[in-house]
A and B are shown apart, each in its own frame.
Chain A
Amino acid sequence: MTDNEFSEHDGGGLTRRQVVRGALTGGAMLTAGGLLAACGGSSSGGGASSSAASSPPSTGALKSGGSLSVGATGGGAKDTIDAHLPTADTDIMRCWNLYEPLAVRPPSFGSLEMMVAESIEAEHGKADSWVVKLRPGIEFHNGKTVTADDVIFSLQRILDPKNPKVGAASIGYVDIKNVKKLSSSSLRIPLKFANAAFLDDIGQYFNAIVPVGYDPAKPVGTGAFMYESFTPGQQSVFKKFPNYWQHGKPYVDALTIIDFTDDTARVNALLGGQVQAIDNLPTGQISQVQSNSALKVLISHTGEWQPFTMRVDQAPFSDVRVRQAMRLIVNRPQMVEQVLSGQGRIANDMYSPFDPAYDASLPQRHQDLEQAKSLLKQAGHAGLTVQLTTAPVFQGVVQAAEVFAQQATGAGVTVKLQKLDTGTFYGPNYLKWTFAQDFWATREYLPQVAQGSLPTSPFNETHWADPTFIKLIGQARAELDASKRSQILQQAETIEYNTGGYIIPYYSNQIDAYSAKLGGFVESKSGFPLGNYWFKNVGLTA
């Protein structure tokens, strides 16, 4: 990556060329192409493998050496460095740099990139059992070679019934008792049901591979950086892992992550030169940072979404006409403008826009107050009053609730806002609010459904339990042929589009900033800031 390509960010928005380049970079970083092409080009296809270590993207003028300080959002006493318990942004940032899962989606959100695994393939062409081959010779920070035992230990640790970790919500269907070591560098992972989306579910940063006997007090992983010190709420210091499997990376010798509870302090630290990069630049500060020639703004067009969640099993939303009316109330372009200061794209009440199965042919929903009024009248709810529960769980969420309440008056609907603090929002009524909000990262369709749209999902906030939908998802999970699976998924998407409980007004942009002396940051469609926090790709340019 050369300087020139990065300076294009200066202009603010992203040019078309950059988007294309982003895709190509993603392609070059991927090594799973061959086999995937054979199964139809889908990312969550029947398997993926890499024949050799990833060829790193062209490093251009990036120099080795130097140190990097990054300002991270939030952090506090509950910060953790445990590979399997990340919650806050600062935890996530540490995890991406210290640890690696078997595979993971790169910032481009292209196909899964093999990390600790060399390949993960469906056994005998069926999606209910998967064979993992480990990357030869890959080492932990303590010098030990990664073996199948470490993978089994990691899965057991994540799925420990007495102390389930974050990943238990995504790979809970792994038949952990029957996971079998095939050789020192391969194993078989059977599932409790067939699931073509297994690769995506296991391929999450929080499902990292740690050595047998892992102790978070002495954190060891296979990531590009190794642990040096960690003080919750203040800073974490990591150093370069010299035996990292991607040769030549990381570029910098030392990485310091500094916690900032206040947005202004974080931006000031960047302006004052105390840190070289920050995540989550507030939209109000974009122009100030852009006007500073020593800094660059990194705008990523993600698949992140912040829905309004209507419980489909509770009045008034148990009537599909009310749900439809609420969706027609939203003036999406206005919401993008007012809530995100234009930093987003309108959405169509559907999630997973980067999934190959995303049905772009469904007509874009626009504000239609007359239609909304008429639907409410038919449902016997003319002049409806509803309570919307909101909390600052994610930037822009409370503002979105305010804008929605304003827009609803146009259809004669009174939206009473119940503004809570985050602690109360996640209190005993969490996932039970009748009408509330949430935020989600970029995911493919099936993994997202597993998280939030099935009766068995851990976060089914809309209490969605459509029998046809459930049947279709079961069929799609068992289908390894990507094009056939796409057809089934589009039927499921159509059901959600017509009758679902989410209002999805937009996908928000991720905005970060960094010093112009650095190169290697790429747009991250995944929504993880600063290009998946992959500081292994970042170095000084001159």
Chain B
Amino acid sequence: MSRFLLRRILLGLLTLLLVSIVVFAATQALPGNAARAILGRNATPARLAALTQQLHLDRSVFAQYFSWLGHILTGNLGISAATQQPVSQLISGRILNSGFLVLVSAIIAIPLSIALGVWMAVSRDKPADHILSTVTLALAALPEFVIGIALVLLLATNVSHVFPAVSIIPPGEHAWNALNVVILPAATLIIAVTPYIARIMRASMVEVLESDYVTMARLKGLPNRTVIWRHAVPNAIVPAIQVSALQLAYMAGGVVVVEYVFNFPGIGSALVDAVGNRDVPEVQALAIIIAAVYVVVNVVADVLTIVVTPRLRTAGR
């Protein structure tokens, strides 16, 4: 187990290094640079030359990358090319906001979708199952921005005014102190990811419920509740853990779209802005953070999978 963990962590770090190289190369492939992006149509040669020098963009590509890598190894995310402020200072509040949004959504969405999946499997081929299957399929087909805009129309602007339409969080304030502006973005994410997990859970649960040992348990006369929650769910949950991890990792990146719709001050909108600004240090920092979430979530999911699967749990011994 510990050897497995160590190997996964080392592989994860290697992944992050590769991500940083790919992202850096990609930002270099984008035409223009931070100085041009900042000046826009005011990019007269004199102003361009002055700003290029100010932003240290006249250094070579390799010098820029290794100086960035050297900084990050010492825990320093570097200086933003667009604002000349430390990247950590620019994005720390946003990371907390996005983190809170994703966490709240996950805490609600994962148990909710597992419960839904179980219920659908248990009431297989009954009306509840048909209705839920159709609804989740339809929701899974909708892009997040459509869900977000529909929620805004229904709950914030045209039909009723229950929640704020956009998430205005005063700078310096944290998302958890402004809960009412988190509700609609969180609801959007929940609606976006729940169908996937629920449908996987249903499929795997249906399979388990048809297996011999479940039939055996029923024949032994165990109560239905015990059969489902003690015997079936622990075995059916492995695919749901894996897909939850994927969805969670996806949320860390997919939050971009939701933040855009709600003007939510998180990493998603910061990333879009940083790419537009050709702000390489900030893009690097955000990409690494999102990739790190991806790696960590996957490691956690693998560990959880091992924990709930006796066969795997005992394999290494």
Q: Which residues of B contact A142 (CB under 8 A)?
A: none
B282 near A77 (CB under 8 angstroms)?
A: yes
A17 interface hit (Cβ, 8 Å): no
Q: Which residues of A contact B158 (CB under 8 A)?
A: 271
Q: Which residues of B contact A274 (CB under 8 A)?
A: 164-166, 168
B41 near A426 (CB under 8 angstroms)?
A: yes
B260 near A426 (CB under 8 angstroms)?
A: no
Interface size class of A (residues with CB under 8 A): 35 or more
The number of residue pairs between A and B whose CB atoms lie closer than 8 Å in the complex comes to: 135
B261 near A262 (CB under 8 angstroms)?
A: yes
Question: Measured between C-beta atoms, what is the minimum distance from A389 to chain B in Å?
Answer: 13
Distance between Cα atoms of A232 and B94 in the complex (Å): 12
Distance between Cα atoms of A478 and B54 in the complex (Å): 38
B36 near A426 (CB under 8 angstroms)?
A: yes
Main SS class of interface, A = loop
| Binding-face segment, A162-170, A187-195, A332-340, A410-418 | A162-170
A424 near B31 (CB under 8 angstroms)?
A: yes
Residue of A nearest to B181 (CB): A274
Which residues of A in the span 151-204 have a Cβ within 8 Å of any Cβ on B?
161-166, 168-169
Question: Measured between C-beta atoms, what is the minimum distance from A377 to chain B in Å?
Answer: 36
B101 interface hit (Cβ, 8 Å): no
A261 near B260 (CB under 8 angstroms)?
A: yes
A229 interface hit (Cβ, 8 Å): yes
Question: Measured between C-beta atoms, what is the minimum distance from B267 to chain A in Å?
Answer: 12
Q: Which residues of A contact B272 (CB under 8 A)?
A: 261
Residues 198-217 of A, flagged 1 when their CB comes within 8 A of B and 0 if not, give 00000000000000000000
B166 near A272 (CB under 8 angstroms)?
A: yes
Which residues of B in the span 13-57 have a Cβ within 8 Å of any Cβ on A?
30-32, 36-44, 46-47, 50, 54
| Binding-face segment, B59-67, B149-157, B210-218, B223-231 | B149-157
Question: Measured between C-beta atoms, what is the minimum distance from B314 to chain A in Å?
Answer: 51
A272 near B273 (CB under 8 angstroms)?
A: no
Given contacts A166-B42, A261-B272, A272-B165, 20 further A-B contacts (CB under 8 A): A77-B83, A77-B270, A77-B273, A78-B37, A78-B277, A87-B38, A163-B54, A164-B47, A169-B42, A235-B170, A258-B263, A264-B261, A269-B263, A271-B156, A273-B161, A393-B41, A423-B278, A427-B31, A438-B41, A458-B44
Question: Could you list 8 examples of A-B contacts with CB < 8 Å?
Answer: A88-B40, A168-B46, A229-B171, A260-B263, A274-B165, A424-B30, A426-B41, A427-B31
A residues contacting B by CB (< 8 A) are 76-78, 87-88, 161-166, 168-169, 229, 231-235, 258-262, 264-266, 268-269, 271-274, 393, 422-424, 426-428, 430, 438, 458-459
Q: Top 6 closest A-B pairs, CB basis?
A: A272-B165, A231-B171, A76-B273, A268-B165, A271-B157, A423-B32
